[in-house]
Structure 1
Amino acid sequence: MKPINISQDIVSLSDFKNKASRMLHEVKSSHRPLVITQNGKAAAVLISPSDFDLLTEQARFVDAVQRGLTDVQNGRVISDEDLDKEL
């Protein structure tokens, strides 16, 4: 996902409603998120499906690493020899 371009990637909800099709195409092709505001405050962030998949995969990876580190800290590990026996 590319970084946000402040001058182009923050739009009001009314602008989004009026130009939704074009903006959806732009998000998909540019891989830049679109911040949608409501009453002058950020209300939503729109990203492409492929960028969502990437973020989801990265989050799952980070979670798996964190769980592994927690297992090591809590002594929930097995030796290489025991692993070889199990396999």
Structure 2
Amino acid sequence: MGLASQIKPISYLKANAAEVLEQLAETHEPMIITQNGEAKAVIQDIASYEKTQETLALLKILARGQRQVEEGKVTPIEDVIANLRKQWRQK
């Protein structure tokens, strides 16, 4: 299904809310809601929203890690392993 078919006016949403929610749950595709011919909102089912939020969180973690590498804030793997072994022996 193309994006063009997922663009609906707010009046459609008001008149067909239950059907829209069903469609969102089935297709897992977002719907763009327009008002006065302009895109004003995007709605999606909760499962897709949660997946999007998880993906964004992972991307933030990756970006932070990349920034730390670029800034030289890294620890050689040998040092990490040595520290882990040291902690393990202390237990």
Query: TM-score range with shorter-chain normalisation?
Result: 0.7 to 0.9
CA shift digits 1:6-47 (9 cap, x unpaired): 1x3111111110100111110111111111101110111111
SS for the counterpart of 2:54 is: helix
Aligned residue in 1 for 2:51: 54
Unaligned runs of 5+ in 1: none
In 2: Cα distance, 1:85 partner to 1:42 partner: 56
Higher relative contact order (CA closer than 8 Å, sequence separation 6+): 1
What count of residue pairs does the alignment treat as equivalent? 84
TM-score, length-scaled by structure 1: 0.87
Structure 2: runs of 5 or more not aligned: 85-91
Asked if structure 2 preserves the Cα contact closer than 8 Å seen for 1:37 and 1:44, the reply is: yes
Residue identity matched to 2:3: N
2:67 alignment partner, SS class:
helix
- Segments of 4+ in structure 1 off by > 2 A? none
1:44 to 2:41 alignment: yes
1:15 is aligned to 2:5:
no
More helix by share: 2
State the match for 2:32 in structure 1.
Answer: 35
